[in-house]
Chain A
């Protein structure tokens, strides 16, 4: 049965002339939809009357595949969920496994995980801010953001050999220790980055045209953010002061000092700006982590390759660049997960789109979609 799009409704204009809504298909193959996602938009002239996201173009059945793989074999699958942020996708899954199997992670591994996750957060935010700038037509900002992201990816390549899907954070620790001098490179990056960020801030967020495009667009109230399950920069931009690293701390985050960046109005401008400002905080966390990190084991001692947790279920979550990324694992005592469910923050954030887009123009819809920062690998799984 083909997909049935709601038939065009007639809107009576004032002179009694019948007028139809225009149904426009944005995507799935479209330069601005951050991946493969489709939005069926009903327009009254230029104003959006209804926006209906259609997802599933990147559905690969990762949750089903996980049922037929061992716990260690599932880690590369998690890389491909949020492919813009493989490190923290790996980490969320590994935390769930460690909770289930009661594996204690050594301290150096925790610090490495924190460093790598914060670097990944910077890279992901650069992608998010850059892509939403490209939506408004500021290609130069996109390239500048990708320059910062390129530095991070080069650091990751030195660390684990891959540029996009790292398979680095494993249950029990990390796959390999940081090479000699890697932390010096990271510190050099953290020292150089704030200047680039402030240049980008002035170039894009300080620009009158960009402000006109982003301010007041897609305003999300704090109550709606909480009741619709939004998390991460999307919720924090609306004034919801909730960051898992501070309010439900895990790993070695309790030892770090950093601020939670909270916005005020909850419009697209605030969402973008919160992402940019969080990068400064991430740099500070990385510097603290490197200074606190000591030599030691990078992997849990005596861990079997074939992890066989006792029967039961566990849920664990981390603060990813998009929000609260959680993994729910059900074990039946065998070396394979019985059920793996990924709670994807981008999925929940995207469900806000129908509510946020109504009343704006088509150009604004694109801007709102960009500001919600969808990554369809995570949404569709």
Chain B
């Protein structure tokens, strides 16, 4: 199959994966949040409320497409896709099985780190084009936050590259050893927190601070356009979980065949659930505290991790 056709197939498939991930992700979030808060969550639509998200999506599709009159219409319409597409594209380099990723490129880890950061542009444009004070504040906060947390995340993934001796995601996945787990625990923690911040999730959801800015940078988006932002968020959770499980835990922890695949799914699932869990437990961090955390706490921790990885790799 030629590269172009395969690219189309992968693109459509990852779009589908993200859509399904969003469907399940929203359901899981609502159920987990409900259980943490001593209530039940969606129960009526479908068994255990599984079809609730489908019902919500149908409702969103049927909504009127509102564009604020003062908004910059073309940019306003393009911005959600600028957020969504890079995250969907990043799924292309995730090593789903030993020696295989949809696109096994030599600089896979770099691709995964660089491409989703294009969604920063989307966030900024979404906030700016809405011509709305709250939205611009949200967009600027979001951009600053996402850019700041790139650094610790990149450094932790870099420490894995150093250990594996390759920048390819498939290479890192295949080079996994059991003793990488305790070695990279700090790195994984930094990666987890940075991913939360990248996705504007959990304690770092200041740009979409519901109780302060009434949804910040996507305040003026309604209906299916808002749904695209949500899909981007849950897609990002899925991508970050899959990538984290694939790299830090070696996919299925090196277990053979079916067990490996199941372990991979289980670990990725657990990381995603942990992201949801953290959001509903902690309050939100303020923007300057958030920046503080990125630059003064996480970056030094990531550098230490890189140092450890480098020393161990050189020693081997």
Given known contacts A30-B214, A140-B281, A46 and B287 CB-to-CB distance under 8 angstroms: yes
A176 an interface residue at 8 Å Cβ cutoff? Answer: no
A213 an interface residue at 8 Å Cβ cutoff? Answer: yes
Do the beta carbons of A32 and B212 come within 8 Å of each other? yes
Against B, the Cβ 8 Å flags (1 = close, 0 = not) of A188-217 are 000000000000000110010110110000
Do the beta carbons of A363 and B134 come within 8 Å of each other? no
Do the beta carbons of A137 and B214 come within 8 Å of each other? no
Q: How far is the CA of A141 from the CA of B38 in the complex (A)?
A: 11
Q: How far is the CA of A30 from the CA of B133 in the complex (A)?
A: 14
B294 to chain A, nearest CB (A): 14
B262 an interface residue at 8 Å Cβ cutoff? Answer: no
B286 an interface residue at 8 Å Cβ cutoff? Answer: yes
B233 an interface residue at 8 Å Cβ cutoff? Answer: no
A28 to chain B, nearest CB (A): 13
B30 an interface residue at 8 Å Cβ cutoff? Answer: no
Chain B residue at minimal CB-CB distance from A147 = B38
Against A, the Cβ 8 Å flags (1 = close, 0 = not) of B68-100 are 000000000000000000000000000000000
Do the beta carbons of B37 and A139 come within 8 Å of each other? yes
Q: Which of B191-249 contact A (CB under 8 A)?
A: 203, 205-206, 209-212, 214
A22 an interface residue at 8 Å Cβ cutoff? Answer: yes
B12 an interface residue at 8 Å Cβ cutoff? Answer: no
Q: How far is the CA of A212 from the CA of B280 in the complex (A)?
A: 17
A143 to chain B, nearest CB (A): 4
B106 to chain A, nearest CB (A): 40
Do the beta carbons of B212 and A135 come within 8 Å of each other? yes
**Number of CB contacts from chain A to chain B under 8 A:** 79
B289 an interface residue at 8 Å Cβ cutoff? Answer: yes
A290 an interface residue at 8 Å Cβ cutoff? Answer: no
Against B, the Cβ 8 Å flags (1 = close, 0 = not) of A131-142 are 001111111110
Place the interface of chain B in its size category. 20 to 34
Against A, the Cβ 8 Å flags (1 = close, 0 = not) of B279-291 are 0111111111100
Against A, the Cβ 8 Å flags (1 = close, 0 = not) of B88-121 are 0000000000000000000000000000000000
Q: Which of B106-149 contact A (CB under 8 A)?
A: 133-134, 137
A322 to chain B, nearest CB (A): 21
In the complex, chain B residues whose CB is within 8 Å of the CB of A144:
37-38
A252 an interface residue at 8 Å Cβ cutoff? Answer: no
B36 an interface residue at 8 Å Cβ cutoff? Answer: yes
Q: How far is the CA of A32 from the CA of B209 in the complex (A)?
A: 10
A128 to chain B, nearest CB (A): 15
**Pick the contact of B287 from A31, A143, A210, A363 — CB < 8 Å?**
A363
A196 to chain B, nearest CB (A): 10
Do the beta carbons of A22 and B203 come within 8 Å of each other? no
Do the beta carbons of A24 and B287 come within 8 Å of each other? no
Q: How far is the CA of A22 from the CA of B288 in the complex (A)?
A: 19
Given known contacts A24-B133, A144-B37, A32 and B287 CB-to-CB distance under 8 angstroms: no
Do the beta carbons of B38 and A213 come within 8 Å of each other? no
Chain B residue at minimal CB-CB distance from A364 = B286
A contact patch SS: helix
Place the interface of chain A in its size category. 20 to 34
In the complex, chain A residues whose CB is within 8 Å of the CB of B137:
24, 46, 362
A70 an interface residue at 8 Å Cβ cutoff? Answer: no
Do the beta carbons of A363 and B133 come within 8 Å of each other? no
Do the beta carbons of B38 and A32 come within 8 Å of each other? no
Do the beta carbons of B211 and A366 come within 8 Å of each other? yes
**Pick the contact of B211 from A135, A209, A210 — CB < 8 Å?**
A135
In the complex, chain A residues whose CB is within 8 Å of the CB of B284:
136-138, 209, 213
Q: How far is the CA of A16 from the CA of B176 in the complex (A)?
A: 57
Do the beta carbons of B37 and A134 come within 8 Å of each other? no
Chain B residue at minimal CB-CB distance from A29 = B214
Do the beta carbons of A31 and B214 come within 8 Å of each other? yes
**Pick the contact of B212 from A138, A203, A366 — CB < 8 Å?**
A366
Q: How far is the CA of A138 from the CA of B285 in the complex (A)?
A: 10
A286 to chain B, nearest CB (A): 24
Q: How far is the CA of A349 from the CA of B209 in the complex (A)?
A: 26
In the complex, chain A residues whose CB is within 8 Å of the CB of B282:
137-138, 207, 209-210
B29 to chain A, nearest CB (A): 12
Q: How far is the CA of A138 from the CA of B36 in the complex (A)?
A: 12
**Pick the contact of B286 from A30, A134, A139, A213 — CB < 8 Å?**
A213
Do the beta carbons of A140 and B212 come within 8 Å of each other? no
A361 an interface residue at 8 Å Cβ cutoff? Answer: yes
Q: How far is the CA of A22 from the CA of B136 in the complex (A)?
A: 11
Q: How far is the CA of A46 from the CA of B209 in the complex (A)?
A: 15
Q: How far is the CA of A314 from the CA of B280 in the complex (A)?
A: 50
Do the beta carbons of A32 and B211 come within 8 Å of each other? yes
B296 an interface residue at 8 Å Cβ cutoff? Answer: no
Q: What would 15 A/B residue contacts be, using CB atoms closer than 8 Å?
A: A46-B137, A135-B212, A137-B210, A137-B284, A138-B283, A139-B280, A140-B37, A140-B281, A144-B38, A209-B282, A210-B282, A213-B284, A363-B209, A363-B212, A364-B286
Q: A46-B137, A137-B283, A213-B283 are in contact. List 15 more A-B contacts (CB 8 A).
A: A22-B133, A24-B133, A24-B137, A32-B211, A135-B212, A139-B33, A139-B280, A141-B283, A209-B203, A209-B289, A212-B289, A361-B287, A361-B288, A363-B212, A364-B286
Give chain A's interface residues, CB within 8 Å of chain B.
Answer: 22, 24, 30-32, 46, 133-141, 143-144, 147, 203-204, 207, 209-210, 212-213, 361-364, 366
